[in-house]
Amino acid sequence: MSWVLVFLGFSALIVLHEAGHFLAAKATGMRVEKFFLFFGPKLVSVKRGETEYGIASIPAGGYVKISGMHPEDKLPEGEEHRGYYEQPVWKRIVVIGAGPAVNIVLAFAILFAISLSANEATQRVGEIVPKSPAAALLEPGDRIVSVDGRSYPNADRTDRLESFAKLVASHECTGKQVDGCKATTPVTLRVRRDGTVRTIVARPEYDAAVGRTRLGFSYGETPAHLGAGGALDRSTGFMWLVTHKTLTVFANLLDAEQRKEVSGVVGVSDVAHQTIEVFGATEALILLAVVSLSLGLINLFPFLPLDGGHIFWSLVEKVRGHPVPYRVMERAGAIGFVLVIMLFFLGLSNDIGRLTGEGFNVR
């Protein structure tokens, strides 16, 4: 079922992206011939008015065909004025930019909605993993006062809990860390239970799923009550983080370590599948927002056949004061196509390496 949800989620992103182009083209008076999900031979289609809507056979994107984007396009008599290159530059930029804009706005809407309803961890014990070191010593509702004598009174709650986790993880097993091994030294906890502070000593166990030692409990949660301002700050901050990371990776592709960060469709799909399986709806929606934002950003890169390439050449035309020869854009598009294919195979190569090696571990 999770793979079906991944497929539907990615398909929705494609449809919404292309719908941005489609609606903007219609709104600016352009003639739209086709609106298709996926590429290749068509599986099913229906024509409504001047536009054919359909689904093709190769699940790798989608497209909207606007009349007049190629010199050989012939528009029906009386419709010539609705061709793409018959429109002023600003209309073309609006139509091309609408696709990535939809993805970016969708990412913001998802993250903003999640932030509005977000919970934050408390210092109280929530769920306890059965048969874990915590199972025999802690109880739900216990409040963690300190770990190994450190309470971090000046840190905010999130940083404090992260510091507690790092202190626990600093207790390691002897030799190689293997799943289930017990740490050599114990962790000392001070917990408040029923108004009384107690000292609890336990040896954490290594959990290969998270790559560190842990006691086996999660913190309880309470509504964050961020409000609109707080939700706006959190969602835009997260979007900037993703944007900076995306641009950094692609700006440093000559760096071998940065190249390893590029993922293809297989990798993103597998991570999405694991996220749904391991976590839940909120985490899956966050991942969907990240993919949507990345799709919007990458499509704005200034080389053809990406949307950003069309915007770039439209701006060049505006600066020059007359159209750029189509053959020039064709040559630029050929170079851009090679770059896109290279990125595709780089991502695919990294995906295969992860799948045959350590895999995509989202836990």
* Cα dihedral sign, 188-189-190-192: negative
Amino acid code (one letter) for 362: V
Mean per-residue pLDDT for 234-247?
86
Confidence of residue 267 (pLDDT cuts 50, 70, 90): very low
Tens of pLDDT along 136-195? 899 999 999 999 999 998 888 888 999 999 999 999 999 899 999 999 999 999 999 999
* Domains of the chain, start order: 121-223 (2.30.42.10)
Q: Picking from 130-134, 234-238, 253-257, which range would have the lowest pLDDT averaged per residue?
A: 253-257
pLDDT recorded at residue 137: 92
Q: Does the structure show a pLDDT above 70 at 33? A: yes
pLDDT recorded at residue 187: 94
Q: Does the structure show a pLDDT above 60 at 264? A: no
User: Measured in whole angstroms, how far is the alpha carbon of residue 194 from the centre of its chain?
Assistant: 43
Q: What is the mean pLDDT of the chain?
A: 85
Please state, for a pLDDT cut of 90, what percent of the chain lies above it.
Answer: 46
Confidence of residue 9 (pLDDT cuts 50, 70, 90): confident
Please state, for a pLDDT cut of 70, what percent of the chain lies above it.
Answer: 86
Tens of pLDDT along 189-229? 999 999 999 999 999 999 887 889 999 998 988 887 888 99
pLDDT recorded at residue 141: 93
Q: Does the structure show a pLDDT above 80 at 279? A: no
Does residue 240 or residue 256 have the better pLDDT? 240
pLDDT recorded at residue 241: 85
pLDDT recorded at residue 139: 93
Confidence of residue 283 (pLDDT cuts 50, 70, 90): confident
Tens of pLDDT along 53-100? 999 998 878 999 999 988 778 888 888 899 999 999 999 999 999 999
Confidence of residue 262 (pLDDT cuts 50, 70, 90): low
Tens of pLDDT along 242-258? 888 878 777 776 666 66
Confidence of residue 3 (pLDDT cuts 50, 70, 90): low
pLDDT recorded at residue 223: 83
Confidence of residue 260 (pLDDT cuts 50, 70, 90): low
pLDDT recorded at residue 73: 83
pLDDT recorded at residue 362: 45
pLDDT recorded at residue 65: 94
Whole-angstrom Cα distance, residue 97 to residue 91? Answer: 10
Query: Three-state SS string across the chain, please?
Result: CHHHHHHHHHHHHHHHHHHHHHHHHHHCCCCEEEEEEEEEEEEEEEEECCEEEEEEEEEEEEEEEECCCCCCCCCCCCCHHHCHHHCCHHHHHHHHHHHHHHHHHHHHHHHHHHHHCCEEEEEEEEEECCCCCCCCCCCCCCEEEEECCECCCCCCHHHHHHHHHHHHHCCCCCCCCCCCCECCCCEEEEEEECCEEEEEEECCEEECCCCEEECCEEEEEEECCCHHHHHHHHHHHHHHHHHHHHHHHHHCCCCHHHHCCCCCHHHHHHHHHHHHHHCCHHHHHHHHHHHHHHHHHHHCCCCCCCHHHHHHHHHHHHHHCCCCCHHHHHHHHHHHHHHHHHHHHHHHHHHHHHHHCCCCCCC
Whole-angstrom Cα distance, residue 134 to residue 217? Answer: 6
